[in-house]
């Protein structure tokens, strides 16, 4: 019986002088992990469409306000809006009002019949520190529309962003 021939394999030469195999593998693992993170997180940011206050309603008249086709199409989707935070009613609130212009008083302490056309209620994912009423902010959240009364506070809203977060613009 003859013995099979055995090829002796030696370690490959480093890809570049000064780069070890371990470092090369570690870099590959980090790049792969970063790619997975980007694939999971990037679509959430990419999918968020901008919505302005001027795009909320198609008609505003004596019979009320009619939601725009864009609002109807974006309902349930993640969007971003830029505006100003109206002063919250209490510091520990998990929601605030986003306005197209700086407001120094609470704009929505009445019914939806008196609802201004340039405000949106923002419900936060988690509590955040509120900012000055005259600082522009970018808000990202899931769009909801239609008259709704918050069961905890009794506040009425026509347009809301839920599961939201914000940052200074």
Q: What are phi and psi of 147, to 5 degrees?
A: -60, 130
Read off the pLDDT of residues 142-155 as tens digits, 9 standing for 90 and up.
999 999 999 988 88
pLDDT for 56:
95
> Which pTM value belongs to this model?
0.68
Q: How deeply is 51 buried, as exposed, middle or buried, from its count of CB atoms within 10 A (0-12, 13-18, 19+)?
A: buried
Contacting residues for 58 by C-beta, under 8 A, at least 6 apart: 66, 67, 68, 69
Burial of 158 (0-12, 13-18, 19+ CB in 10 A): buried
The pLDDT tens digits of the residues spanning 73-109 come to: 999 999 999 999 988 777 777 899 999 999 876 655 5
Query: Radius of gyration (Cα) for the chain, nearest Å?
Result: 26
CA distance 127 to 65: 31
Predicted pLDDT of residue 65? 86
Q: What's the confidence (pLDDT) of residue 94?
A: 86
37 pLDDT above the threshold of 50: no
CATH assignment, 49-104+115-168: 2.40.50.870
Contact call for residues 138 and 78 (beta carbons, < 8 A)? no
- Domains of the chain, by residue range, sit at 49-104+115-168
pLDDT attached to residue 83 = 97
């Amino acid at each position: 019986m003859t013995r099979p021939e055995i090829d002796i394999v030696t370690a490959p030469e480093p890809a570049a002088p000064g780069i070890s195999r371990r470092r090369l593998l570690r870099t590959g693992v980090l790049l792969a992990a970063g790619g997975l993170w980007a694939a999971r997180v990037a679509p959430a940011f990419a999918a968020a469409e901008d919505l302005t206050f001027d795009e909320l309603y198609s008609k505003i008249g004596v019979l009320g306000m009619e939601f725009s086709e864009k609002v109807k199409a974006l309902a349930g989707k993640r969007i971003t809006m830029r505006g100003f935070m109206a002063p919250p009613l209490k510091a520990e609130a998990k929601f605030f009002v986003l306005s197209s212009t700086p407001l120094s008083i609470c704009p929505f302490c009445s019914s939806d019949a008196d609802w201004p056309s340039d405000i949106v209620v923002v419900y936060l994912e988690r509590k955040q520190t509120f900012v000055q009423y005259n600082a522009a902010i970018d808000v990202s959240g899931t769009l909801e529309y239609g008259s709704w009364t918050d069961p905890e506070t009794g506040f009425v809203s026509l347009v809301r962003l839920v599961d939201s977060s914000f940052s200074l613009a």
